[in-house]
Chains A and B, each alone.
Chain A
Amino acid sequence: MRSFAYVVPDSVAGAVDALAAAEPGTKILAGGTTLYDLMKLGVEAPPAVIDIHRLAELTEISTGEGELSFGAGAKMAEVADHPVVRRDYPALSESLWRAASQQLRNMATVGGNLLQRTRCGYFRGGAEFGCNKRDPGSGCAALEGLDRTHALLGASDACIATYPGDWAVALIAFDAELDVVGPRGERTLPLGDLHVEPGDNPVLEHTLAADELILRIRVPATPAGRGSTYHKIRDRESYAFALTSAAAAVTLDAQGTVTDCRIGLGGVATRPWRATAAERSLLGEQLTMGTARHAGEVAFADARPVRTGAFRVELGIRTVTDALLTAGKQAAR
């Protein structure tokens, strides 16, 4: 690991100042479960890290009227087990506790998790493999290599790396927003505007400026929260990344007609993926196996199968189908 300067600010304002004054490439360290791991592998080599994990002002959670708010420094385990989140937004809770292990969830923060980097083996594998995300212009070894878990949606000729997270997939379905802070002050952006597709520049993964820091995640209150689930299909039952996953939330009227529908896709795309056309296909319909399956087919209509993971298109359709039916049962509670 390359040596680095270790900076410990005692406030968010101090962190912003430190980041503004820092050498290019300086990274924010919170839980460390992605950054420190990639530094050990030599994939990340920041000249300095700014450790924000002790900043209590970043750890507040509130579930009052109108919205949920999660400080960026709150731990995944804490939000997953929050009684209001479990009861009123099961998809959010499940997206967290179905991710990683309890040890990692005790370390990782809900802000850092949004920017978790891809698990593509060629990205993590280091210089012997071409990777346009790690080393621009070196090619993409996954295109001709082991692509079983790579992206079916949003990929480019330069990069087919899958966005690995679950939490952002659930959040995007609920129109979450982020408050971020930098030297120019605070601003708010929809979570849907945070991540970008790789295009011809896979190095660029998000729209935060180098001197900005996530303060909190806010989720507008919605009755669709109660009728929601996060369905995650893995090679083993627990502690694995998604082969396919779906966050689904529905609201049904007294006749069982779908009046609101949200669908996020995980494990299958280069970024957290909102399936808006699939959502629209269900509005005004009864939620049945047939309409749910149709929504799944719409969600994957533009999928470009990878060579050794083509089965994940059909698996993804079935994942959406099952998630919607589970969400419908939740909504009828």
Chain B
Amino acid sequence: MMKTSPTAGRPAGLVETAFTVNGEQVRFELDPRESLLDVLRERLVLTGTKKGCDQGHCGACTVHIDGRRVVSCLTPAVQVAGRDVTTIEGVAAPDGTLHPLQQAFVDCDALQCGYCTPGQVMSGLACLAEGHTETDGDIREYMSGNLCRCGAYIGITAAIRRVADQTKQTEV
């Protein structure tokens, strides 16, 4: 079986695509040109995910697909059919309590203008989950896909370090 667009019964070229975003099922008739970033921001009005360069350089649009970090600007939205997408809006608890990494960003002065911060947090969560936090050098290497033009890198590294150390203590 092969799925091809255009499909009979739909406007030419549209592709029916269903996936979950922060646990909620969504379904769209997508033009295959649409990026996941544009679908999140323009159709779902989840504007926490930021459009920086739109070319995969800056990391501001970082989200998780099935738990792995990707840049949503270079992800055709049709490719996430059946996948679980997590954005910055899905990180804090339902009552608004910040995730420990979000709290660490606040406590460690890990932002100035804040535009890159949602991408930094999503990337930082993945960096922690991957275990690329053995040294501060590892954190810098594995966070290098997220640019911060205010230069809050020292705070960002410290925030991730704090949560990595907390996690380690909990495990011990």
Which residues on A are within 8 Å of B, measured CB to CB? 1, 3-10, 14, 18, 29, 32-33, 36-37, 39-41, 49, 51, 53, 77, 97, 100-104, 106-107, 237-239
Instruction: Classify chain B's interface size.
Output: 35 or more
Contact status of A106 and B69, CB under 8 A, knowing A5-B6, A6-B5, A32-B79: yes
**Which B residues lie within 8 Å of A51 (CB)?**
78-79
Q: Apart from A53-B79, A102-B130, A103-B71, what 13 extra A-B contacts exist at CB < 8 Å? A: A5-B4, A5-B5, A6-B15, A8-B4, A14-B2, A18-B2, A102-B132, A103-B62, A103-B123, A106-B68, A106-B69, A237-B140, A237-B144
Among the 9-residue stretches B53-61, B87-95, B101-109, B154-162, the one with 4 or more Cβ atoms under 8 Å from chain A is B53-61
Give the contacting residue for B54; candidates A8, A10, A32, A40; CB below 8 A.
A40
Closest to B33 in A: A1
Q: Verify A102–B69 contact, CB threshold 8 A.
A: yes
Nearest 6 pairs of A and B residues by beta carbon = A101-B145, A238-B144, A239-B144, A6-B32, A8-B3, A106-B68
Contact status of A40 and B78, CB under 8 A, knowing A1-B33, A10-B2, A103-B145: no
Q: Verify B145–A7 contact, CB threshold 8 A.
A: no
Between A and B, 16 residue pairs with Cβ closer than 8 Å are A3-B13, A3-B32, A5-B5, A6-B5, A6-B15, A8-B2, A32-B76, A33-B56, A33-B74, A36-B35, A40-B54, A49-B32, A103-B123, A103-B145, A104-B56, A107-B74
**Which B residues lie within 8 Å of A14 (CB)?**
2
Within 8 A of A (CB), among B44-64: 54-56, 59, 62
Q: Among A41, A103, A104, which residue has the most Cβ atoms of chain B within 10 A?
A: A103
The digit string for B117-143, where 1 denotes a CB below 8 A from any CB of A, is: 000000100110010100000001110
Q: Verify B55–A32 contact, CB threshold 8 A.
A: no
Give the contacting residue for A238; candidates B4, B68, B130, B141; CB below 8 A.
B141
Q: Verify B33–A4 contact, CB threshold 8 A.
A: yes
Q: Verify B145–A102 contact, CB threshold 8 A.
A: yes
* Complex CA distance for A220 and B141, rounded to whole angstroms: 30
User: Does B31 sit at the interface, judged by CB under 8 A?
Assistant: yes
Give the Cβ gap from B117 to chain A, nearest Cβ, in Å: 16
Contact status of A32 and B74, CB under 8 A, knowing A1-B33, A238-B144: yes
Give the Cβ gap from B164 to chain A, nearest Cβ, in Å: 16
Give the contacting residue for A4; candidates B2, B32, B74, B141; CB below 8 A.
B32
* Complex CA distance for A10 and B3, rounded to whole angstroms: 9
Q: Verify B76–A36 contact, CB threshold 8 A.
A: yes
**Which B residues lie within 8 Å of A32 (CB)?**
74-76, 79
Give the Cβ gap from B32 to chain A, nearest Cβ, in Å: 4
Q: Verify B59–A103 contact, CB threshold 8 A.
A: yes
**Which B residues lie within 8 Å of A8 (CB)?**
2-4
Q: Among A18, A100, A107, which residue has the most Cβ atoms of chain B within 10 A?
A: A107
* Complex CA distance for A165 and B148, rounded to whole angstroms: 25
User: Does B113 sit at the interface, judged by CB under 8 A?
Assistant: no
**Which B residues lie within 8 Å of A6 (CB)?**
4-5, 13, 15, 32, 78
**Which B residues lie within 8 Å of A97 (CB)?**
141
Give the Cβ gap from A248 to chain B, nearest Cβ, in Å: 21
Contact status of A239 and B145, CB under 8 A, knowing A6-B78, A51-B79, A102-B130: yes
User: Does B70 sit at the interface, judged by CB under 8 A?
Assistant: yes
User: Does B8 sit at the interface, judged by CB under 8 A?
Assistant: no
* Complex CA distance for A31 and B132, rounded to whole angstroms: 23
Give the contacting residue for B142; candidates A41, A53, A102; CB below 8 A.
A102
Give the Cβ gap from B84 to chain A, nearest Cβ, in Å: 14
Q: Verify A10–B13 contact, CB threshold 8 A.
A: no
Contact status of A9 and B15, CB under 8 A, knowing A36-B76, A102-B126, A107-B71: no
Contact status of A102 and B123, CB under 8 A, knowing A5-B4, A10-B2, A239-B145: yes
Give the Cβ gap from A166 to chain B, nearest Cβ, in Å: 15
The digit string for B1-20, where 1 denotes a CB below 8 A from any CB of A, is: 11111100000010100000
* Complex CA distance for A17 and B147, rounded to whole angstroms: 42
**Which A residues lie within 8 Å of B3 (CB)?**
7-8
* Complex CA distance for A77 and B126, rounded to whole angstroms: 13
Q: Among B33, B62, B123, which residue has the most Cβ atoms of chain A within 10 A?
A: B33
Give the Cβ gap from A246 to chain B, nearest Cβ, in Å: 20
Give the contacting residue for B75; candidates A1, A77, A107; CB below 8 A.
A107
Give the Cβ gap from B119 to chain A, nearest Cβ, in Å: 9
Q: Verify B145–A100 contact, CB threshold 8 A.
A: yes
Q: Verify A101–B76 contact, CB threshold 8 A.
A: no
Q: Verify B2–A7 contact, CB threshold 8 A.
A: yes
